[in-house]
Amino acid sequence: MARKILKSLVLVESATKARTLKKFVGQSYSVQSTDGFLKDLPKSRIGVDDDYQPDYITVRGKGKLLAELKRETLNARKIFIATNPDIQGEFLARQYCEIFGLNPNSHCRILLNELTKENFKAAMAAARPIDDNLADAFQAKQLIDKYVSHKVGEYLERKIWRGVKVGRFRAMLLKLIAEPPAQKNLTVDKTFTAAALQKIAFEELNFSTARTRFIADQLYEGINFGSGDYAGLITYPHDGEIFLTSERREPEAVKEFLTDYQFKLYRLIYSHKKKTFKLDGTTNDAALMAAFEAAKVDWADFYSVGIASLIKRKYIAAEDSTYKVTALGQRVLDALAGFFDNVFSADSYNEVNAQVKQIAAGNAQKISVIENYCARFNKSFAEAMASLGEDAEPQDEPVVESEEVCEKCGRKMLIRHGRYGTFLACSGYPECKNTRPFLEFLDKKCPKCGGRLAKRSLSRNRILYCCETCDFMTWDEPQAMTCKVCGATMFAHKFRDRVPMFYCGNENCSTRENHPMNKILADIKRRAEVRKNRKAAKESAK
């Protein structure tokens, strides 16, 4: 029986990155994805003790993956960690060493600034130990953010109601939306950072920051060029300046392998030039991004997540591509004013980032930076809590009464918000514990039975559309238009990186009116045919 040859194991944090690496690392290596953090600070509590030491726990749902990875590491000849080349990637690399019992002083860390075969070989030749300074820099920022958001949440739960919380960056973003910057011009020079990319993509391509980040990750993590050829097109897009990879492929040469969005963004990066933005007092994405740039705030990795969080928490509302602070958002700002002005200012945010860079450079100690910052913060926190009085307790969210009546006891049903979405609960609780889904009825008909369609809000900001009388349900949003063939409601099926497809909801009708996918589908078909012909030509040439 042939003896099994042990392979070296390469750990990365992304499945897409793992797929790309597998194409050119060779038979001597096995590549596995960890899917990011295996252990993290708990969400339900602060997770930081009085000495500012973290209490990490296994991320929910990662237990099975963790066990599989441990088996892989035991059977590996050698282990290399190729997480992203930034401070978070370094922290993850150190975390993996602790979890899998690896020696952090061994040459186990490799940096992949671009995902190409040549860069992988160079990275393996330059493998180094874990840099504790870089890992400590990320951990300091992580602990400060968690400590501040949890403590401010304790105050806001007593000042407003339970569940109201805000972090350092999001509070600063909320304040900026409420008080837009004055008119001025801002020029982005030839240094093409993640921030510059997101601003220019918004201005020229009308891409949201979330879409730009997502597509930039795709361009970095690898594109399928056919015949098993996977490679990245740009360098790591979240830390420092963004460059084309050493292979420097022309946009037109790779167009057939890219989606429309990927091609547009890659062409933008390829032909980058100096750009001037105008701050005109509005609160759209471009103005807010430019305002952060003017204040020298490092925002690129947090902006899209911050906006999404503020909308989800109903602190802001999006109206005609601009953002408006809601009544709840204004209450949050009013509650923070006077006590946390310095904590949530651009100067304070930049000061923490400067200290983090000092830790990364080995010029400052992690614990000293955390202690000094939290000591100043605790003074503001103590003043805020004292203003509420000693007996202040977390407040319950004001109850909203619905028009629905409990079918069990006849009392009014109340609108409640839980971890699994919005629901109706009997006002007679705890005597009556009846609950049922909260349905927001729409002025649209069910394509199956003609009944009213309703919208149901679920967890993770998901929305389900269902019928009040039959079993029809869908994730696709019903449209105002109706089918010209059968008159049924039309629905929009959304894709992650393509425009929606509109279709008739009647299962017996195949109508595709106002179909924006026709051009894209034809383009995809054409590219597939081109790849097929090229492959056939290569085989015939052999």
- In the chain, where are the structural domains located? 8-130
Residue 238 CA to residue 84 CA, distance in Å, equals 9
**pLDDT bucket at 277, cuts 50 / 70 / 90:** very low
pLDDT given for residue 29 in this prediction: 92
Which pair of structure tokens corresponds to residue 367?
Answer: 């614990």
Q: What is the pLDDT of residues 373-401, one digit of tens each?
A: 999 999 999 999 999 987 878 777 777 78
DSSP state of 460: G
pLDDT given for residue 273 in this prediction: 56
- Cβ-in-10-Å burial (0-12, 13-18, 19+) of 430 comes to exposed
Which pair of structure tokens corresponds to residue 321?
Answer: 């591509």
Contact between 99 and 79 (Cβ < 8 Å):
no
State the fold for domain 8-130.
Rossmann fold (3.40.50)
Alpha carbon of 108 to those of 63, 412, 463, 479, 541: distances in Å? 24, 63, 44, 53, 43
Instruction: State mean pLDDT over 351-374.
Output: 94
Residue of 464 and 530 predicted with greater confidence: 464
Q: Are strands 8-12 and 29-33 parallel, antiparallel or unpaired?
A: parallel
CB environment 447-469: b (16+ within 10 A), e (fewer): bbeeeebbbbbeeeeeeebbbee
Most confident of the ranges 81-90, 271-280, 472-481, 514-523: 81-90
**Cα atoms in the Cβ-side hemisphere of radius 13 Å centred on 260:** 15
Which pair of structure tokens corresponds to residue 537?
Answer: 């030509």
Question: Is 0.85 surpassed by the pTM of this model?
Answer: no
Whether the ω angle into residue 54 lies within 30 degrees of 0, i.e. cis, is no
Which residues are within 8 A (CB) of 506 and not within 5 positions of it... i.e. 6 or more apart? Answer: 447, 448, 483, 486, 488
**Across 24-28, 431-435, 521-525, least confident range:** 521-525
Q: Which amino acid is located at 1 in the chain?
A: M
Alpha carbon of 299 to those of 168, 239, 279, 305: distances in Å? 12, 12, 17, 10
**Which of 174, 211, 503 has the alpha carbon at shortest distance from 340?**
174
Which pair of structure tokens corresponds to residue 265?
Answer: 């963004």
Q: What percent of the chain has pLDDT over 90?
A: 37
Residue 199 CA to residue 180 CA, distance in Å, equals 17
Residue 423 CA to residue 402 CA, distance in Å, equals 11
Instruction: State mean pLDDT over 264-285.
Output: 68
Instruction: State mean pLDDT over 392-421.
Output: 82
Q: Which amino acid is located at 422 in the chain?
A: T
Residue 163 CA to residue 154 CA, distance in Å, equals 9
Segment (H or E) for 111: none
Residue 200 CA to residue 238 CA, distance in Å, equals 15
pLDDT given for residue 58 in this prediction: 93
CB environment 38-68: b (16+ within 10 A), e (fewer): bbbbeeeebbbeeebebeeeebeebeebeee
Q: Which amino acid is located at 147 in the chain?
A: Y
Name the packing angle between helices 209-221 and 194-205 (round to 10°).
120
Angle formed at CA 511 by CA 510 and CA 513, multiple of 5 degrees: 155
Angle formed at CA 526 by CA 524 and CA 527, multiple of 5 degrees: 65
Q: Provide the 10 A C-beta neighbour count for residue 446.
A: 22
Query: Residue for token digits 């918000």?
Result: 417
**pLDDT bucket at 313, cuts 50 / 70 / 90:** confident
Which residues are within 8 A (CB) of 330 and not within 5 positions of it... i.e. 6 or more apart? Answer: 178
pLDDT given for residue 292 in this prediction: 80
Instruction: State mean pLDDT over 286-296.
Output: 78
Which residues are within 8 A (CB) of 443 and not within 5 positions of it... i.e. 6 or more apart? Answer: none
Q: Which amino acid is located at 221 in the chain?
A: E
Mean pLDDT of the chain: 84
pLDDT given for residue 191 in this prediction: 57
Q: Which amino acid is located at 34 in the chain?
A: T
Which pair of structure tokens corresponds to residue 159?
Answer: 């000042």
Q: How far is CA 298 from the centre of its chain?
A: 16
Residue of 465 and 202 predicted with greater confidence: 465
Which residues are within 8 A (CB) of 409 and not within 5 positions of it... i.e. 6 or more apart? Answer: 426, 428, 431, 432, 434
Handedness of CA 263, 194, 175, 138 (dihedral sign): positive
